[in-house]
Amino acid sequence: MSAAASSSKTERLLSLYRTMARIRAFESAAEEASKGGVAAFGATLGTQALVRGPLHLSTGQEAVPAGVCANLERTDLITSTHRGHGHTIAKGAGVSPMMCELFGRASGCNGGKGGKGGSMHIADFAIGMLGANGVVAAGIPIAAGAAQAIKIRGGREIVACFLGDGAVNRGPFLEGVNWARIYALPVLLVCEDNRYSATTATAAMTGGEGAAARAHAIGIPARVVDGNDVESVDEAAAALVAEVLVVAHEAVQVAGFGAEVAATVAEALRIPVKRVGAPRIPVGYSKPLEDEARVTADKILAAVFAVRETRRWRPTTTG
């Protein structure tokens, strides 16, 4: 390795380490400030603690936000989980406004709503942090929606979506990830697999091989790296960000029956469309058959409405 390459590698590692140290310091301070005020840390009535209410720390998980966010631009966006402090710091938020947010002060980082989000809904739109989220997996459709907006605008930003290993068992994971795939949206999904879903071992409630296997099944390239090794996270994030940008500029393929409608929708969303072959007519399709089917459908509908009519609830008169 040349001297220049070696010094730039040292600079990179120092910068990653600084982010990790900053996150750890913030989490330690938040824990200290919450003593007596938060259930997990011995809440007492009439407490004078500065942080009150829910507080979810990410102590020990610093390498993931540091390694991922080092590959994002300021204009890129992130969504987060209920443990959002580390992601917010790594994306570039100031720690003082963040701590004010935890203290419930108007000077908190949540913009015009400063102090109302607290730990679990911490956000900072100025640096592209769209919010921590108290609902497991809820950040995924938000990330897909934000990425759809970027695509409609013709932007080149990406959205990094942090999720926990517990999120892969919820419906929004399938819906959000599938949506991102079919519309080739610029989303980087980052699953922080700490083997637990809060207090429950994730393996005991997850079928199959977990997040990466599920991503593969939906057609998304995935890598598994050691989340304690910031260099590995950094390298994987760099490669995946590049891949996301390529995929995001890929045309969606439409083919077969209904292809024209799909193409019209995609074009309205300014998504490039590639038509694959001519629309196929289903075997056995013919005009008389279609007419017959329509008559049958009308009869069924009429029957359904008739049943509904007879069963309509009417208030009983008393007295």
**Per residue in 128-150, is it b (16+ CB within 10 Å) or e — as a string?**
bbbbbbbebbbbbbbbbbbbbeb
Q: Is 88 in the site for ligand TPP (CB under 6 A)?
A: no
Residue number, nearest CB to ligand TPP:
164
Contact between 121 and ligand TPP by CB under 6 A: the answer reads no
C-beta of 137 vs 254, nearer to ligand TPP: 137
With respect to ligand TPP, which residue has the nearer C-beta, 27 or 157? 27
Q: Does 172 bind ligand TPP (CB under 6 A)?
A: no
Q: Which of 47, 59, 178, 194 binds ligand TPP (CB under 6 A)?
A: 194
CA distances from 174 to 137, 180, 304 (A): 10, 10, 33
Contacts to ligand TPP from residues 27-66, by CB under 6 A: none
Exactly one of 97, 117, 164, 176 binds Mg ion (CB under 5 A); that residue is 164
Beta bridge partners of 258: none
One residue of 77, 167, 220, 236 binding ligand TPP per CB under 6 A = 167
Distance in Å, CB of 249 to ligand TPP, minimum: 31
Rounded distance between C-alpha atoms, residue 147 and residue 153, angstroms: 10
Residue among 168 and 187 whose Cβ is closer to ligand TPP = 168
* Smallest distance, ligand TPP to C-beta of residue 43, A: 17
Q: Report the alpha-carbon distance of residue 57 to residue 55 in Å, rounded.
A: 6
Nearest-approach distance from CB 34 to ligand TPP, in angstroms: 17
- Residue 165 as a binder of Mg ion (CB under 5 A): the answer is yes
Residue 135 binds to ligand TPP (criterion: CB under 6 A): yes
Part in contact with ligand TPP (CB under 6 A); list of ranges 17-25, 132-140, 179-187, 297-305: 132-140
Q: Which of 38, 55, 82, 122 binds ligand TPP (CB under 6 A)?
A: 82
E strand map for the chain: 77-79, 159-164, 187-192, 196-197, 200-201, 252-254, 273-275
End-to-end CA distance of the chain: 95
Per DSSP bridges, beta strands 187-192 and 77-79 are unpaired
Which partner, ligand TPP, Mg ion, none, binds residue 134 by CB below 5 to 8 Å per kind? Answer: ligand TPP
Stretch that binds ligand TPP, among 81-89, 124-132, 212-220, 290-298 (CB under 6 A): 81-89
Single out the residue of 33, 27, 28, 25 nearest to residue 51, CA to CA: 33
Which of 128, 135, 100, 95 is CA-nearest to residue 114? 100
Task: Provide, rounded to whole angstroms, the least separation between the CB of residue 72 and ligand TPP.
Answer: 21
Q: Which of 47, 59, 194, 253 binds Mg ion (CB under 5 A)?
A: 194
Using CB under 6 A as the binding rule, the residues of this chain from 200 to 219 that contact ligand TPP are: 202
Burial of 194 (0-12, 13-18, 19+ CB in 10 A): middle
Q: Is 196 in the site for ligand TPP (CB under 6 A)?
A: yes
Q: Which is nearer to ligand TPP, 141 or 164 (CB)?
A: 164
Q: How many CB atoms lie within 10 A of CB 118?
A: 20
Nearest-angstrom CA–CA distance, 275 and 258: 12
Closer to Mg ion by CB, 196 or 285: give it: 196
Three-state SS for 306?
A: helix
Taking alpha carbons only, the member of 51, 90, 48 closest to residue 67 is: 90
**CB 102, CB 31: distance < 8 Å:** no
Interface positions with ligand TPP (CB under 6 A): 81-83, 134-136, 164-167, 194, 196-198, 202
